[in-house]
Structure 1
Amino acid sequence: MIQKRSGEPMQMIENLMFPFRFQDTGFPDLSDLALEADRLRPWISQIEEPLGVVAPANAEPFCCYIRTVVFYGPQSAEFGRCETRLQINDVLRVGDDRWQVWSGEVAWLRGAWRMVWQLKKYDETQRRVV
């Protein structure tokens, strides 16, 4: 069962693979996103990131270049592309908890394309996923 944890501020604090990722640009604004915690497995959660691309529901999404999603149609015609704000190994702070982005998939949900990110609770003191 998924329970939304809206209202708690979410802040990106680092990327474990690319520590200098935000050196020039700063951290992205995540104020429109909400963590959805799994009540049966409290160490797992997910975030739906709207992609804001104009592509039909029957497009074929292809993830490449770490944060780029390209949408293809018939005969490999490109419908559009976008960049995600989150990527694998980002660490987020939500309230007193830390969460590591673990995986993601592009999905057509509620009439729009979204990246559905899976997160696992992160233990900062031991620098490992719980």
Structure 2
Amino acid sequence: MDPATEPAPKVVKSDAEWRAQLSPAEYQVLRQAGTERPFTGEYTDTKTQGVYSCRACGAELFRSDAKFESHCGWPSFFTPLAGDAVIERVDTSLGMRRVEVLCATCHSHLGHVFEGEGYPTPTDLRYCINSISLRLEPDAG
């Protein structure tokens, strides 16, 4: 999706408000499209059942039953919770062509999505998401 044609965020805050709400590391990833180091994130190996939400705005993004072992160093999902939960945008930074994944509610950076890597998933997609972009709400039980 082209940034000029994507829907406006439903949650809009000033840069100062985001900085006050988020830790410096969260801000760097969520608001400046940074990347946490591989194999360091809180949810990389988590098996807990529940819903992963955007750490910035709380919008529900992914279910744990769509999470899979990709051994790439970041949590990986084969599909978002709903088709309109995320925005996908072409990213040509770092001299490569990738597809960036943003929270559709607040337009915070989550990670990237990759296709055709051969993982045995129903979609052949890998939503490679920074743990620091997420918050897990475990299922009741």
Q: TM-score, normalised by structure 1?
A: 0.33
The structure with the largest alpha-carbon Rg is 1
Greater helix proportion: 2
Greater strand proportion: 1
